[in-house]
Structure 1
């Protein structure tokens, strides 16, 4: 977590409005103050605090007391909510959003829509991304989509052509094996072993007419789908097309620990807004395209996702003020310029039009990608169910690693995935 001194040294603290210490339980705030809590990089802190300052300037007398969390974000948030000291406004990841809403930790925002929170310039149906059980439980902050990122210089050096939107999974496997051989360097492969990434599996499933999760909160695939997924990556690994199990096991599902960022892979499957982060860590230009598909004319497996949500605590003292800040965050043009596309491409189409010419070349690539797939995306997915975050940590990654190390067969991995997922999602 960034402390006050670090933020002062980095120029991130905006006036006296942003107190970045943890607020003690029971601390009273005036009616014109509200608490904001989020997680992310120093760059995100800088952008968020810039919006806070803009909001306070536009609304004299109102204070936004801001705190940015670190690795302990979720434990602190849970503790604050359990103690009745929840932040008035807090950021949620899509994998946890519906969980918090269904535990009544968020305030439904329906009554503020079209009144305090303007919706007329948002992309069509965007608020469905914030809907849980028929109520708007939070505001999606931006959108992203699945993407395949690749190092352009490596493809130029080897003379091989990078994947395109019509590349099939079979073609991709052949390319990966050929690319690894063409690179000819120890500990550098074509791609990471993406068997452990649930988001990559989700795109694969959508292409097969399935879903990772259903509306009822259960998994939307069967053991044959799991066998196909694990079998693909197991075969690619044995053929030398993706990184070794030892390398992949070091990935903590963060940009900086991904094999591509560690220069052990030329490609990775990620989210489009993560291009900025990957490019910052790369020596060469990183480009992005859509994921491989089952067959040339098949479904893309793509859909727009909420990159993050902002929710309002169910016990917030001044819900109108919280709603006003959320409106400013997603609809104000100057706020949009300050935020850029670090959290994803803006939901507000007018903001998007204003932001696009102001961002750097890397961010523009992310915006252009979102626009380029507009006629290929499918329906928004169901909300991630309670227990999904546990699946990420205890099921998807561990099972894929066991498969990679040869501790499980493809059939055993598939069976364990189905059994563990059904057990956790039935809790």
Structure 2
């Protein structure tokens, strides 16, 4: 017989089941998926996927859909998604490519989320926040910082009886250093005086002389005196003629891989055109610890021209449908110490001071040197570089064309300055 007691039990079980199904449905309704796109090596992929797992354990209602590749093809993919209005919620970016996305209103301004505490920046220095600002708005957050760096072999300097590179060296000091190494040891002082070909050395040179590569709105070059270009090229030509650095043909034939730079096999005492996060790679190639040094100062400089830059940035699509959940992920990424330990220095020296302190406790020999170098660089750096205009790569290509023609002595530095100015301003004005 079906008693009242059995009926009550069935009713209770029915209610419990109904409630469970409702909770499950509610949970399903609350489930959010965010797309996160980045480029990198297999090591970076593995570290990033582990941090995603940690985040999902803390926030089970938020799933991160990873979309990752190598550097090659990454920007073609991002540009295609931007054109199709289908950017991921979270995008790993580089500062030099951001201006076009900002001008097209495709990235979210993070300022309101910092102001309301959704993203805690208490332990991130304001100078590092500036690295994510484009046209005065906080369009991204730097994952870490790098500084332009040279690397030198202490054993070769000791053999030549020459002082190690110093942060107070001038451009002329470095020229004399390269020449003396060549005279004493019969090897190159460096492959090139600084990062000549891609313009990084020229950026520093211009800043030290009170100028800039671009004008404020990116519609023309930022310097009027072509003698600055001429003097920079003559500095290089003088060193080429002395035999202290590679000539044009040797530079074009040199291996591009950092592990195969001439400093790694004793054919040069320094390497001058790298970044602070490349210490491990170049030291591994050399089979011993190489030591980083800063770019030189200008003897007559009017301001500090050396700089630091974000290794990369995390940005947010303006069209994200889940900004609150995105901010939870960014807050976790930048502030969770355990997550920071997993990421390490793979995306530059972290900007969060607590994360850096934790990393220093168990740092390997390379990271210890990098931490100290970045500290030194921060004390000898000017403001962050302004955002490059969308046509930056075309302008750099024009600069490189003039550069190669000058050092091959096909044209004079004066002719190179005129050629570059005309080409660059035409590109920027179109």
TM-score, length basis structure 2: 0.84
Give the CA deviation at 1:256: 5.2
Give the structure with the higher percent helix: 2
Given the alignment of the two structures, is residue 404 of structure 1 paired with residue 407 of structure 2, yes or no?
yes
Deviation for aligned residue 1:362: 0.8
Residue matched to 2:366 = 362
Alignment match, 1:121: 123
C-alpha spacing 1:335/1:252, structure 2 compared with 1 (3 Å): farther
Change (3 A) 1:225 1:82: same
How far does the alpha carbon of each residue in 1:275-323 deviate from its partner, in whole angstroms, 9 at most, with x for none?
A: 2332233323211121111229975422332221111112222122222
- Give the root-mean-square deviation of aligned CA atoms: 2.5
Give the SS at the match of 1:38.
strand
Listed as ranges, the gaps of 5+ residues in structure 2 are 1-28
Corresponding residue for residue 424 of structure 2: 421
Find the structure with the greater CA-based Rg.
2
What's 1:14 paired with?
A: none
**What is the match of residue 38 of structure 1?**
38
Which residue of 2 is the match for residue 239 of structure 1?
242
TM-score normalised to structure 1 length: 0.85
CA distance in 2, matches of 1:363, 1:395: 36
Deviation at 1:209, TM superposition (A): 1.7
Seen in structure 2, the aligned counterparts of structure 1 residues 378 and 416 have a Cα distance that, compared at 3 Å, is: same
Corresponding position of 1:336: 340
Query: Residues 81 and 105 of structure 1 are in contact (CA less than 8 Å); yes or no, is this contact kept in structure 2?
Result: yes
Give 3-state SS (helix, strand or coil) of 1:64's partner.
strand
- Any conservation in 2 of the 1:147–1:288 contact (CA below 8 Å)? yes
Partner Cα distance (1:32, 1:414) in 2: 54
Output the CA distance in 2 between the equivalents of 1:257 and 1:417: 31
The answer to whether 1:201 aligns with 2:202 is yes
> How far has the Cα of 1:250 moved from its partner?
4.5
Secondary structure of 2:196's aligned partner? helix
Q: CA deviation at 1:189?
A: 5.1
Whole-angstrom distance in 1 between the partners of 2:206 and 2:288: 32
* Residues 318-365 of structure 1, C-alpha deviations (whole Å, 9 max, x = no match): 122222212222111112111112221211122222222222111121
Residue 219 of structure 2 is aligned to residue 221 of structure 1: no
In structure 1, the gaps of 5 or more residues are 1-28
Residue 419 of structure 1 deviates from its aligned partner by 1.8
Please say if residues 166 and 294 of structure 2, whose CA atoms lie closer than 8 Å, have aligned partners that are also in contact. yes
- 1:96/1:301 Cα in 2 relative to 1: closer, same or farther (>3 Å)? same
Equivalent residue for 1:305, pick from 305, 309, 329? 309
Residue 141 (structure 1) aligns with = 143
